[in-house]
Structure 1
Amino acid sequence: MKKGSKIGIIGGGSVGLYSANLLLRNLENLEIDIIERHSSLGKKILASGNGKCNFTNKYVSPDHYNDRDFVAKIFKQYDINDTLSFFKKLGLIYKFDEEGRGYPHSESATSLLEVLELGLSDKVNSILNTTVEKIEVKENKINLHFDNTYKEYDYVIIASGNIASNLSSESNNNYLRFLDLKSREINPSLVPLKTIENLRDISGLRFKGGVSLYGDDELLHKEEGEVLFKNDGVSGIVVLQMSHYLNKHKRSDYHLKFDFVTTLNKQELKKYLSSKKDLLVEDIFKGLLNTKLAKRLLRESKINFDSRMVNSLREFEIELLVNLVKEYRVNIKDTYPFEFAQVASGGILVSEISDDLSLKRYPNIFVGGEVMDINALSGGYNLQFSWSCAGVIAKALIERSKEE
């Protein structure tokens, strides 16, 4: 990389801001443009973690991602320790919760964005409210077309995320078609799920319990966490995780099973319900379940319980109630649209990308973050991948400066 090299960064999010900071601290006489479609930088950062910015996870590993081998190569070059060290240099104070999720000490995404912006100098030109319309490679130069003109760069970093990153159902990555790269279809991920069943009567109800995802009747994933019922679907952290596995395993039919009482196994629950023999059947779930949920389960059991006592229930009826509590099924119709997604699955295939994150066919163009076909569970893993991508790209450009 020659002195005075011009670098165009498409996207003023995590990859764009972090890579610009690293480059400015390690190289001199750079001209950097950050081209951002929104009116300010870091809009997705501010929205992460419900505004608290879960920016990493101390337990991060390649196993949390859809392509373990590729991510392992990235983390080998720039890992969480490198990330935390650099954020310290930028002046960020952070902390971790009991599950390893990292947050700014202020628990405000603004704190993280502020240190990233403070690290930029007057050598960084932010071109806001601007969408790149075309990318053109001519010999050793790259032209980015926008606003009825174009600018010439020595290197370009593509960090424009994907549809979910843009907080919109419209992609701003149409310029990528000019590079003719192989990619996988974009789908919303870490997103609430729509159900075939109408859940209006329990809408707004939250519970912590077990959730299992099935695809074509095969168990795909199982974990415990918080679930939120909506009019036409389900949300909550554990459901968002399920959407990741739904994208990972391509099946034709999906359903969820909820365990509303994880502290009791089926036999223990059967014994507990049977012990209420002197109560009316309509009161059998009192002290155990939310009233709205109890009414729904009793209704779906189709047991004729008018004025019946629990001691009149036959064994198969008790077992039916037990199964409704421990394996309540809802059928998945679809995901919610991109506007509700934290990230998206799909993007540029990793087969198009070198280990230093340059494109194999265009070695002066780098890609990082969600624009690639890499996604992970929630918990800080997606942002950590972005920081690591930015670190790898910056290292590659620093090495090239030594060669030139």
Structure 2
Amino acid sequence: MERGLDVDAETVVVVGGGPAGLLAAQRLAEAGHRVVVYEAQATVGRKFLVAGHGGFNLSNAEPLSLFETRYAAQHPQFARFLAHFSPSDLRQWASSLGISTFVGTSGRVFPTEEHKPAHLLRAWLGHLEQLGVTIQTRHRWLGFAGATGLRMRQETTGEELTVHPAATVLALGGASWSKTGSDGQWVHALQELGVECIPFAPSNCGAEVVWSPFFRDKVGRVPLKNIALTCGSHTVRGEVLLTDYGIEGTPVYALTPQVRAALSHGTTATLLLNLKPDVSPDQLLQKLQQRRAGTSLASFLASALRLGPPIPTLLRELYPTLPSSPADLVQVLTQLPIPVRGLRPLDEAISTAGGVAWTEVSDALMLHRRPGTFVAGEMLDWEAPTGGYLLQGCFSTGAWVAQGVLEWLEKRSAQV
């Protein structure tokens, strides 16, 4: 069946009810356009809410000149997006919804304690309703139809329909946490159009290490606090968690691009663990030289360096024959090699690399192969570490795309 559902030739359709799509819808509605949002799940913002379970850091307060670099190869593009909708703009946006925020000691931006993710989403949806935005849930996008059409399926009834909007914003997410609707199935429809899509890869995820059965049974899940982790030329401070499959935690997540690159050569990647990053090698050497004969290394590390369990077990696991020389022990304690055999599965990752290639979109993020169709959020091929950069990137691209849609519609109207 082909018909329109709440859509006419003056309506802008947003496909995907995550942060990028909803902010694009808000900006377009505020500019006076009628907007319909289609979402395959029963509710919008599901991944947004799941992300909030880990602390819900909306953004980060570090200077923009540093913030921009968190997007690595896409730094130039995100410099523009962040200038258009900055972390300060995001905080002001939250405030306009009645949600106050604060900057934590790490620089991350959080809603204040009384405001949970559901509070923000509820306030946001209320504002969208006031703006006249229509949200159609349980509607799955199936692909394109003709020059302007979008094929949709009502998931409850199985009814298929085609809508012909004035412009389209695709904001369907990446391919992690598929239970939230972010399953990457949209790739097939874009590839049928000839759009190049970079294969998805896990980002911000745990690293797999082959522990011995003894180590897994004895250590289990234990945090290592105040450490530094290095892969190649990149070093990240923080806390990691030893798990039955390997290691996870913010430093591991931040280094997944480097680990992934190393694994791409078909060999094991190596993470170097510094157990005492606040102590210089010379200071470590002086302390280790004070070890008395007959004192076990485990006892000495615990008393002199506060490296108690599970550090001795970890050292024996990764370095079965520990050196006796204090100078060599310094090397082990500051550059303990952790062999990584792989990254955790795609669906466990917090985010994904891969998606629509940048060569396929204009500066306004409009598909070259389909004028009037724009792409936002994690559908694009970018990645960033946790710490507020992922959500900010989605919000900023959503705001940027909305501006692109407005300019394109205005230009098209002038040509009529």
Q: Structure 1: which 4+ aligned runs deviate by more than 6 Å?
A: none
Partner Cα distance (1:284, 1:385) in 2:
47
Query: 1:132-143 alignment to 2 at 5 Å?
Result: 132-138=141-147, 141-143=148-150
Mapped pair 1:6 → 2:11: yes
Question: Kindly tell me: are residues 165 and 232 of structure 1, through their superposed partners in 2, closer, same or farther at Cα, counting changes over 3 Å?
Answer: closer
**Gaps in structure 2 of 5+ consecutive residues:** 1-6
Does the 8 Å CA contact 2:174/2:183 hold for their aligned counterparts?
no
**Residue 368 of structure 1, CA deviation:** 0.3
**Residue 278 of structure 1, CA deviation:** 5.1
Partner Cα distance (1:165, 1:232) in 2:
19
Mapped pair 1:207 → 2:207: no
Question: What SS is found at the alignment partner of 1:382?
Answer: helix
**Residue 35 of structure 1, CA deviation:** 2.0
Does the 8 Å CA contact 1:227/1:234 hold for their aligned counterparts?
yes
Q: Aligned partner of 1:240: which letter? A: Y
Partner Cα distance (1:252, 1:220) in 2:
20
TM-score norm. by structure 2 comes to: 0.84
Mapped pair 1:293 → 2:311: yes
Q: Aligned partner of 2:78: which letter? A: V
Question: Kindly tell me: are residues 291 and 58 of structure 1, through their superposed partners in 2, closer, same or farther at Cα, counting changes over 3 Å?
Answer: closer
Mapped pair 1:273 → 2:288: yes
- Compare 57-66 and 7-16 and name the one that shifted more: 57-66
**Gaps in structure 1 of 5+ consecutive residues:** 305-314
**Residue 248 of structure 1, CA deviation:** 5.8
Query: 1:161-176 alignment to 2 at 5 Å?
Result: 161-164=173-176, 166-167=178-179, 170-173=183-186, 174-176=188-190
Residue 242 of structure 2 is matched in structure 1 by 229
RMSD (CA atoms): 2.7
Does the 8 Å CA contact 1:142/1:154 hold for their aligned counterparts?
no
Query: 1:188-337 alignment to 2 at 5 Å?
Result: 188-198=202-212, 199-200=215-216, 201-214=218-231, 219-247=232-260, 251-253=265-267, 254-277=269-292, 279-281=294-296, 282-287=298-303, 288-298=306-316, 302=320, 316-337=324-345
Mapped pair 1:366 → 2:361: no
Q: Percent identity?
A: 20
Question: What SS is found at the alignment partner of 2:146?
Answer: strand
- Compare 251-260 and 9-18 and name the one that shifted more: 251-260
Mapped pair 1:89 → 2:104: no
**Residue 80 of structure 1, CA deviation:** 3.0
Identify the match of residue 160 of structure 2 among 149, 152, 163.
Answer: 149
Partner Cα distance (2:384, 2:261) in 1:
10
Once the two structures are superposed, what CA deviation does each residue of 1:90-142 show, in whole Å capped at 9, x if it has no partner? 3321111123211112352223212221111274333323322222232xx22
Residue 78 of structure 1 is matched in structure 2 by 85
Does the 8 Å CA contact 1:189/1:341 hold for their aligned counterparts?
yes
Mapped pair 1:37 → 2:8: no
Residue 3 of structure 2 is matched in structure 1 by none
Residue 58 of structure 2 is matched in structure 1 by 55
Q: Aligned partner of 1:293: which letter? A: I
TM-score norm. by structure 1 comes to: 0.86
Q: Aligned partner of 1:15: which letter? A: A
Partner Cα distance (1:300, 1:44) in 2:
37
Question: What SS is found at the alignment partner of 1:291?
Answer: coil
Question: Kindly tell me: are residues 292 and 53 of structure 1, through their superposed partners in 2, closer, same or farther at Cα, counting changes over 3 Å?
Answer: closer
Question: Kindly tell me: are residues 286 and 143 of structure 1, through their superposed partners in 2, closer, same or farther at Cα, counting changes over 3 Å?
Answer: closer
**Residue 260 of structure 1, CA deviation:** 1.1
Residue 138 of structure 2 is matched in structure 1 by 129
Q: Aligned partner of 1:86: which letter? A: W
**Residue 224 of structure 1, CA deviation:** 1.2
Partner Cα distance (1:57, 1:294) in 2:
36
Identify the match of residue 19 of structure 1 among 11, 16, 24.
Answer: 24
